[in-house]
Amino acid sequence: MARRKRENTESSIDKKLLENVKGLRAEVTEMPISVTLETNYMPYAMSVILSRAIPEIDGFKPSHRKLLYTMYKMGLLGGQKIKSANIVGQTMQLNPHGDASIYETMVRLSKGYEALNAPLVDSKGNFGKVYSRDMAYAAPRYTEAKLTEICREIFKDIDSDTVDFVPNYDNTKTEPTLLPTSYPNLLVSANTGIAVGMASNICGFNLKETCETAIALMNDPDADIMQTLKAPDFPTGGEIIMEEQKMREIYETGRGSFKIRAKWQYEKKGNLIEIREIPYTTTIEAVMDKIAELMKAGKLKEISDVRDESDLKGLLITIDLKRGADPEALMQKLFRMTPLLDSFSCNFNILIAGTPQVLGVREILDEWTAWREECVKRRVYFELKRKRERLHLLMGLSKILLDIDKAIAIIRKTELEADVIPNLMTGFGIDETQAEFVAEIKLRNINREYILKKISEKEELISDIKSLEETLRSRAKIRRLIIKELEEVIKKYGSERKSSIVYAEDIEE
C-alpha cells in the first residue's frame, strides 16, 4: 500500500510540473536558419562588437571607460590611493559584468602590470606583469590604486560639455559615451579585442612620436608619417626588426605584421647570457618552456642551465653556457627556434560612429583630429555661452547702477517679497534673470569700487566673447589650440622609445 501511495504522489508531482512548465507544451515553429540568425544571433553579435570588444576613437573599450570615469568621479585624480575593492564596487554601478572582469581591466591599465606605454592607473601592491604568465596579481582587497597624472589629459574639459552623456544600465547615473582625450590615446595604448566575426589588435606607439605625427599631419596633410612615427613601441622593450615596406603597408592599410625580438647581452666573466627584454607577445614561462623542451631534445647542447631570475627590478632570464659555446651563434639559433623572436599581427579595427572600420595610421589620426576639433569647438562654445550669460547679468546690473537710489526706492516701496523681482523688471526694463541677480547683491557692495569693478569685468567679457566667436568661426584657430595642447602633452609626459629599431638588412644570419 505504501509503495502504491508513493507512486501516485510522484505521478501527481510530475503532472503539476508539466502544467507549470510552458516550454514543454509549446508549439515548435520551423524557421529558416537565416531568419533565426538575423533575429536571435545578430543582436548578440552587434552587442559584443559595439559594447565590449572593439575600441573607439578615444582609445577605450566601454569597460575601460566605465572604470576610469568611476575613478575620476571618486576624486582619484590626485590625492591618496584607495583599496581596489572599493573602486571595483563603485564601478559596478556603471558596469554590471561582475567584479572579476572589472578588476582585470584595472590590472591591465595599471603601471605595475606594464602593459601600456602610458599607464592610466597608478597602482600599489602586486598587480602581476604582462610578461609573466605565472606572476598572478593579488586580490583587490590587498591592492590600492588611483589615476595617473596623464589622466588629466584623458578627462580634460569633460565638465565643459565636450562629450555626450547617456544613462547607465539602470538609469540611476549618467556616463560619457567617449572621453575627451587631448592626445591620440588610440595609438599610444596597445589594445586587443575579439568580437563575433571580427577582431582588433592595435600595437602601441611612443607617446611623443604619436603627438609629433598628429601635429605634422595637421600642418601638412601629405607629410610622410614614417619620418616622425618611426615604428611601434612596447613597454616591454625589445628590438623591432624594421622592414620598411612591410611597416609602410601597416601604416597605410592597418593590416600586416612585423617581427620583434629579445634584447640580450653576454657576460664574459660568468660565461652566461642575460635577457632583460622579451617580445611583447610572449611571456617568460613560454620562453623557458621552449628552451627546456629543446634542451631535452638535445637541440641546444651549448646550454648548461637556464634560470628565471626576475625580481622587483624587472625581467631577467639567465642562460649558462658550456665552455667554448659561441653566444652570438646560440642567440641566432634561439631566435629561430623560440619565442625570443616573435611576430605581432596588426589589425587596426576601431569603431567610428558605431561602425567597425579597419584604418591605417594616417586615417586614424585624421579621424582623431576631426573628433578632437569637435571636442574643442564644444568646449569653446560652452565657455562662450557662460560668458554671454555673465555679460547678460552685468548688462542688467549696469542699468541699476545708473540709478541706485531708484532701485532702493522700488524695493522699499514693495510690500511683498514676491513682488520685488517683477517691480525691478518693470522699473528698469530688465528680464527676470537680471532682476534676480540684482536683488541678491548685498547693500554693502553698492559702492564706487564695486561699480567700477563690474564695469571693467563687462568690458573684459565683451573682448573675450569676441575672441571666442572668432575662434569658433576659424578651423585654423581650433587646430592651433589642439597643436598647443599636444605640445604640452609632449613636454609633460613625452619619453624616449623603449623598443629600439634594428633594420632587417643589418642583421647577420
Residues 464, 392, single domain; the answer is yes
The cell numbers describing 214, all together, are 598628429
401 pLDDT tier (thresholds 50, 70, 90)? confident
Give the residue with greater pLDDT, 411 vs 41. Answer: 411
| 372 Cβ contact list (under 8 Å, min separation 6) | 180, 182, 482
Domain boundary among 161, 178, 195: 178
Residues 155, 108, single domain; the answer is yes
Q: What total of structural domains would you count in the chain?
A: 3
Kindly report the average pLDDT of the chain as a whole number.
90
Q: Is residue 7 part of a domain?
A: no
Residues 291-319 have pLDDT tens digits of: 999 999 999 999 999 999 998 889 999 99
Q: Is residue 407 part of a domain?
A: yes
Domain boundary among 339, 358, 387: 339
Residues 69-104 have pLDDT tens digits of: 999 999 999 889 999 999 999 999 998 888 999 999
Its pTM surpasses 0.85: yes
Is the pLDDT score of 7 beyond 60?
no
Query: How many Å is the Cα radius of gyration of the chain?
Result: 32
Q: Is residue 332 part of a domain?
A: yes
Residues 384, 469, single domain; the answer is yes
Give the residue with greater pLDDT, 13 vs 175. Answer: 175
Is the pLDDT score of 6 beyond 60?
no
Do 458 and 451 touch, CB atoms closer than 8 A?
no
CB-CB neighbours of 437 under 10 Å: 17
Residues 335, 380, single domain; the answer is no
Residues 381, 323, single domain; the answer is no
Domain boundary among 178, 198, 218: 178
Give the residue with greater pLDDT, 387 vs 451. Answer: 387
Q: What is the pLDDT of residue 15?
A: 53
Q: Is residue 150 part of a domain?
A: yes
Per the document, the length of the chain is 509
Residues 334, 414, single domain; the answer is no
Mean pLDDT of 442-466: 84
Residues 386, 300, single domain; the answer is no
Enumerate the active-site residues. 142
438 pLDDT tier (thresholds 50, 70, 90)? confident
The cell numbers describing 218, all together, are 595637421
> DSSP per residue over 303-315, as a string?
EEEEEE--BTTB-
As a whole-number percent, the residues of the chain with pLDDT over 90 amount to 72
Residues 487, 380, single domain; the answer is yes
Residues 463, 407, single domain; the answer is yes
308: domain range? 263-339
Is the pLDDT score of 232 beyond 70?
yes
Q: Is residue 51 part of a domain?
A: no
In this structure, what CATH number is given to the domain that contains residue 274?
3.30.1360.40
Give the residue with greater pLDDT, 11 vs 450. Answer: 450
Q: Is residue 391 part of a domain?
A: yes
Q: Is residue 10 part of a domain?
A: no
The rounded distance, in Å, linking the Cα atoms of 76 and 70 is 9
| 99 Cβ contact list (under 8 Å, min separation 6) | 88, 89, 92, 140
The rounded distance, in Å, linking the Cα atoms of 130 and 108 is 8
Q: What is the pLDDT of residue 444?
A: 79
Residues 335, 382, single domain; the answer is no
The cell numbers describing 484, all together, are 598647443
